[in-house]
Amino acid sequence: MDTLTIVKIGGNVIDKPAALQSFLKGFAALESPKILVHGGGTLATELLEKTGVPVRMYEGRRITDAGTLKICTMVYAGWINKTIVAQLQQAGCNAIGLSGADADTVPATKRPPAPVDFGFAGDVVAGRINVPVLSLLLGNGLCPVFCAITHDTQGGLLNTNADTMASAIAAALSETYRTKLLFCFEKGGVLADPDDGNSVIPEIDTAYFQQLKAQKIISKGMLPKLDNAFAALRAGVAEVHIKHADHLLSANAGTRIRVEM
Amino acid sequence: MDTLTIVKIGGNVIDKPAALQSFLKGFAALESPKILVHGGGTLATELLEKTGVPVRMYEGRRITDAGTLKICTMVYAGWINKTIVAQLQQAGCNAIGLSGADADTVPATKRPPAPVDFGFAGDVVAGRINVPVLSLLLGNGLCPVFCAITHDTQGGLLNTNADTMASAIAAALSETYRTKLLFCFEKGGVLADPDDGNSVIPEIDTAYFQQLKAQKIISKGMLPKLDNAFAALRAGVAEVHIKHADHLLSANAGTRIRVEM
């Protein structure tokens, strides 16, 4: 079984051109086959403000009305995705930018409007990811680069969480490949002390995760990331790591997530 | 040799949701293999105005500075491309949206800054189009849907003329397929009288084209389209037609362009 690496790169890195370029050079140097999933950054929020579309959030999550979906699709599938693809091409990586609508790679379901109506928000089901098309692209030396826009297969686009998308894609491809999922962002890993960048926890298993949650050591933003990490492992992903974008190529950097140590 | 149909759909149709949807249903019903190339419409201009990026033109052609390139990439590769892909997926056509940067399908050259500096404008060379990747996608039942954004292979994106891109893609694939190129827009074809929508000229060959140019019957906007049509024929494209988007499936509608009658 070939090893497939799925890398998620977070929005904070995308907002910094030099950090992004350095990360992409590292990604290009990673052994193939590989897939990149990217987040959104702040450009969508800036453009929503400039064009007068109100930014609406609920408990830190964006509510996607029609105007917001249009801006998010423009920014994520347009500017960010194509900028990343062009830079990877320059670095010798044969990137192909995709949304979940393209080749029906990632169909999704519009989130039910109750208890909270998140609008055009899509939930991905790992079992419906188009494994044959992704295997075709990967098998022919192409590197899929996903933005977190999906479709409902009825003509509608949906805004999706990039961590969940990366986790679901990795899980779906675990039938065909030994999968390695790397969540890269602007911190060294999961931190024992959020104010100390050097307090990276090297390994977290299910029991330790419960303990860290109970002690409130793991902060709000990190909770869904860890939920996605464990979901991926339970769905057959071989390895999951959370690490700094600059340490992509260092095998031992960051936090390794395991079901059991 | 299989027949491959390459359809260019113009910006005027893209601005009208009902007309676009009707066209896309027709396109989905066309026999495969097929490729769609789409223009831009007015959304980019609207967004440039809303965000305060000055719109600069020279003899009807857009000058693409860095701010304009960003907006054009967002609108063409983001919103328009993914909207079209999602609608084609709904209609049962396995569309995959691409810019020329994706899988290095359409590399381009930045236009020289003299005599007029058009900024980030890209010129496509048919000989450099990535035929193996396009054949791979087509051969596996996928339908490439191109926006007219290309790349310089050095990490930079370029704004490209969609007619020229369609013509160059058709020419490049003429090695592998019998190619049919259809330019679809909001008129019935090339008109003998621009004010009479029913004055469609059924056929134009090289000699007649010279005559129509000399008589100034062919208007400014139609000249480059016809130049692209003749360039495609000279480069090996088997058939070129200019027709109304609503008549996509009517073989005899519109104007057929021939080198000789």
Which range, of A70-74, A208-212, B31-35, B217-221, averages the lowest pLDDT?
A: B217-221
Give the residue from B181, B238, B193 showing the smallest Cα distance to B36.
Answer: B181
Q: Residue A41's pLDDT is what?
A: 85
CA distance B166 to B126: 10
A42-81 CB burial, b ≥16 within 10 A, e <16: ebbbebbeeeebeeeeeeeebbbeeebbbbbbbbbbbbbb
The per-residue pLDDT for range A216-252, each reduced to its tens digit, is 988 777 898 999 999 999 999 999 999 999 999 998 8
Q: Residue A59's pLDDT is what?
A: 81
Domain parsing of chain A, residue ranges: 3-257
A90/B47 touch (CB, cutoff 8 Å), yes or no: no
DSSP H or E stretch at residue A176? none
Nearest by CB to A89, from B76, B81, B151: name it.
Answer: B151
Q: Is the pLDDT of residue A29 over 80?
A: yes
B51 contacts on A by Cβ (under 8 Å): 47, 50-51
Q: Is the pLDDT of residue A260 over 90?
A: no
Q: Residue A200's pLDDT is what?
A: 97
A102/B85 touch (CB, cutoff 8 Å), yes or no: yes
- B101 contact A CB<8A: yes
- B16 contact A CB<8A: no
Low-confidence ranges of chain B (pLDDT < 50): none
Interface confidence (ipTM) of the complex: 0.96
* A interface test, pick of B20, B46, B73 with most A CB neighbours within 10 Å: B73
What average pLDDT does this structure show over A143-151?
A: 98
Instruction: Answer yes or no: are the C-beta atoms of A31 and A2 closer than 8 Å.
Output: no
Q: Please give the CATH number for the structural domain made up of A3-257.
A: 3.40.1160.10
Q: Is the pLDDT of residue A261 over 80?
A: no
CA distance B41 to B75: 9
Q: Residue B198's pLDDT is what?
A: 93
For a pLDDT cut of 90, what percent of chain A falls above it? 88
What average pLDDT does this structure show over A68-85?
A: 98
Supply the DSSP symbol for A220.
Answer: T
- B89 contact A CB<8A: yes
Cα atoms in the 13 Å half-sphere on the side-chain side of B115? 2
